[in-house]
Structures are given as structure tokens and as C-alpha cells.
Amino acid sequence: MPEIHHTDLLVVGAGPAGYTAAIYAARASLKPILVTGMQPGGQLTITTDVENYPGFATPVQGPWLMEQMRTQAEHVGTRLIYDLIVHADLKNGPGPDGYFHLTGDSGDEFRARTVVIATGAQAKWLGLESEKRLQRGGVSACATCDGFFYRGKTVAVVGGGNTAVEEALYLTHHADRVHLIHRRDHLRAERILQERLFSNPKIEVHWNQAVEEVLGSGDPEVVCGVELKDTLTGATSRLAIDGLFIAIGHTPNAGPFRKEVACDEDGYILTESSGTATSVKGVFAAGDIQDRIFRQAVTAAGTGCMAALEAERYLSGIPAMTKT
Ligand SMILES: Cc1cc2nc3c(=O)[nH]c(=O)nc-3n(C[C@H](O)[C@H](O)[C@H](O)COP(=O)(O)OP(=O)(O)OC[C@H]3O[C@@H](n4cnc5c(N)ncnc54)[C@H](O)[C@@H]3O)c2cc1C
């Protein structure tokens, strides 16, 4: 039997942004409800070592870190509901009852005086079975997160846009050799980035090449190479590498919110430059769903904190925070 849940603050999403928003909201006595979606814990649940989240002297496991955040959020008074928001009425503001109305896949209704959207984003993958199998063994979608583990090694980046070029350049700070694999004969990246790429002696570009297979070896299995196919001739070849970075873009999980709050052309929610307010008063967005630049757990947590503080001020009738 579907239920109706009322709350001062509804958090949608159970990643670092959502859990942090919930922790701050609960500690402000807003009795938040957090709807987890299909991936409780978010993106960090599919990774192993996390070495750049402050507070831990040695690497921690992504799933463990997210368990800690969940436990903390519940400990301070967050109610977790395992459901997926499939419908949201936000764009016209709260209804006559003072609540935004959202619906879960279960049929449950969520009535919230404020909403924090923290639904994150998904890295785009090539779609190979071997790529998925080796995601805990050297296939990554984030050079900032994992580049450090490849000091003195050889890595490859797949893609041809700004992100791919930036990731390749970043990886040269760690790896001895960086291969950029692109399926066309030109890059989409901005010219200045291309110039930096072409002038970097550590980087070799492989034109008209598509990754057919990620090769692994050992137990536990780790990446040892890639099989490439020439997109013009069909000829195949192998490249020995220690790590593979897929940089072909991200898809923001805007789903039911895309037409409810202002988004950019790719579906990232637009927020005010100084905070997390969206185009709808009382609705805030935090984490990767509104961030196409940094995409880190710590920045997601930071904006989750901001969203809860801004929601609290909104509920108290205090004007939005301004810089002094
Ligand atoms: C393989 C990998 C390794 C990474 N390693 C690091 C690292 O070492 N350090 C680092 O700082 N960052 C790392 N990152 C990046 C980091 O994971 C993200 O920046 C961070 O998780 C973003 O947090 P978020 O809360 O915005 O969203 P996410 O973590 O993406 O969580 C989104 C949440 O929203 C939920 N959701 C989505 N749609 C709905 C809906 N309709 N209804 C309800 N819930 C919904 C999902 O179930 C999920 O719980 C890594 C990312 C990947 C993919």
C-alpha cells in the first residue's frame, strides 16, 4: 500500500552530496528523508582505493567510506527510504499545501517543503565486458582519482574531447608514458589544450583507433593491455599498458528533474554561482548533478553541506546567503 511521507527536507540521492546534505539537515532538526535511488552509496561503491578523501591517513575502500556516511546520516536522525524518484512537480513551486510533490517508483508520495537534488552522474563507458570486469583492476573513469596509482607506469586514455585531453595531460604528472586513443583523425578538444597535448613528449596519440578489448592478467586480474582496431582499415593491434582511463563523457542523472528546474544542454542542473539554489525557490542541487568540472567526493560533500544550510535558511525565511 503506497504511503505518503511528509518532510521539511527531502534529499534525493545517496552519494557523498546526499548523505552530507542529510547530516547537516538532521543536525538542524529538519528531520530529513533521503531517497537512495538504485545505487545506495553512489559512484564510490564501484571503486576500491580512495586516497584523497580527507581524514584518513591510508587509503579506504569506496564502499566502506559510503557505509560510514550512511551510518552517520542515520545516526543523526535521517530517515532512509530505498526508492527511486520517478516523478517530481517542482517548476510551479510548492502546492497550496506548501509542499513540493514527488513520487517514488514504489508508488509512495513524498511531500517536502524543500528538496535537495543530489542524483549524481554516471561516467560513460565503452560497453565492453572486459572493461566492466577490470573496473577494480585498472580501468577508471577519473584521472584525478586514480592517476596517482600509476607513478612511473604506462597508461592510456580513450576519448577526443576536452576531458580526454585534460586527463591525458594530468596523467603525465604521474605516468611515464600516456597513450591517447581516439577513434577519429582529429580531436574535439579546444585548440589550446590540443597544443599542450601535442607538445608533451610523454604523450602519444593513436588516431582512428577503437578499443576492442581490455586485456588483463594475474590473480587478482589487472589491466595489462588493450586490443585496438583501426577504424579505417580494420587492422588490429595490441598496446601494453598498466591502466586505462575512459574519458568519453558523463551523463547527469537528471531524470525526473530535467524539465522541472533549469538545466544546461547536457542535463546538468544549473545552480547560482555562489551556492546551490536552482531556478526554483526551495529546490537546491548538490554534487555531480550540478558539477561538470570537479566531480570529486569531497566537492560533492561540500556542496551537499551548502545545500542543507541554504535550505535551512530558506525555511527560516532568512534571505539567501551573500558574500560579506
Ligand atoms: C570508478 C570511480 C572512482 C572514483 N574515485 C574517486 C576518488 O578516489 N576520489 C574522489 O573524490 N572521487 C572519486 N570518484 C568521483 C566520485 O565518486 C563522485 O564525484 C561522487 O560520488 C559524486 O557524488 P554525488 O553525491 O554527487 O553523486 P553519486 O555518488 O553519483 O550518487 C548519486 C546518488 O543518487 C541516486 N539517484 C540517482 N537518481 C535518482 C533518483 N531518480 N531517485 C533517487 N535517487 C537517485 C543514486 O542511487 C546515488 O545514490 C570516482 C568515481 C568513479 C566512477
C-alpha–C-alpha distance, residues 30 and 226, integer Å: 51
Taking residues 138-156, report their average pLDDT: 95
Q: Cα of 118 to ligand 1 centre, how many Å?
A: 9
Binding site membership of 296 for ligand 1 (Cβ less than 6 Å) = yes
Binding site membership of 269 for ligand 1 (Cβ less than 6 Å) = no
Output the CA torsion sign for 194, 229, 136, 16. Answer: positive
pLDDT 10s digits, 174-228:
999 999 999 999 999 999 999 999 999 999 999 999 999 999 999 999 999 999 9
Smallest CA separation from ligand 1 atom 27, residue: 120
H/E stretch holding 315 reads helix 297-316
Average pLDDT, the chain: 96
C-beta separation of 100 from 88 below 8 A: yes
Active site residues: 142, 145-146
Give CATH for domain 125-246. 3.50.50.60
Instruction: Give the pLDDT confidence score for residue 159 in this predicted structure.
Output: 97
Taking residues 4-23, report their average pLDDT: 98
Binding site membership of 302 for ligand 1 (Cβ less than 6 Å) = no
42-51, 98-107, 142-151: segment of lowest average pLDDT: 42-51
Q: Cα of 187 to ligand 1 centre, how many Å?
A: 28
Q: Cα of 98 to ligand 1 centre, how many Å?
A: 30
Cβ burial, residue 54 (10 Å; 0-12/13-18/19+): exposed
Q: Would you say the pTM of this structure is higher than 0.85?
A: yes
Q: Cα of 46 to ligand 1 centre, how many Å?
A: 9
pLDDT band at 46 (very low <50, low <70, confident <90, very high): confident
Cβ burial, residue 204 (10 Å; 0-12/13-18/19+): middle
pLDDT higher than 70, residue 320: no
pLDDT 10s digits, 163-182:
999 999 999 999 999 999 99
Give CATH for domain 4-122+250-316. 3.50.50.60
Locate the domains of the chain by residue range.
4-122+250-316, 125-246
Given ligand 1 and candidates 33, 34, 82, 119, which is best to mutate, with the most ligand atoms within 8 Å of its CB?
119
Is 125-246 the same fold as 4-122+250-316?
yes
Q: Which atom of ligand 1 is nearest to the CA of 291?
A: 26
Smallest CA separation from ligand 1 atom 29, residue: 42
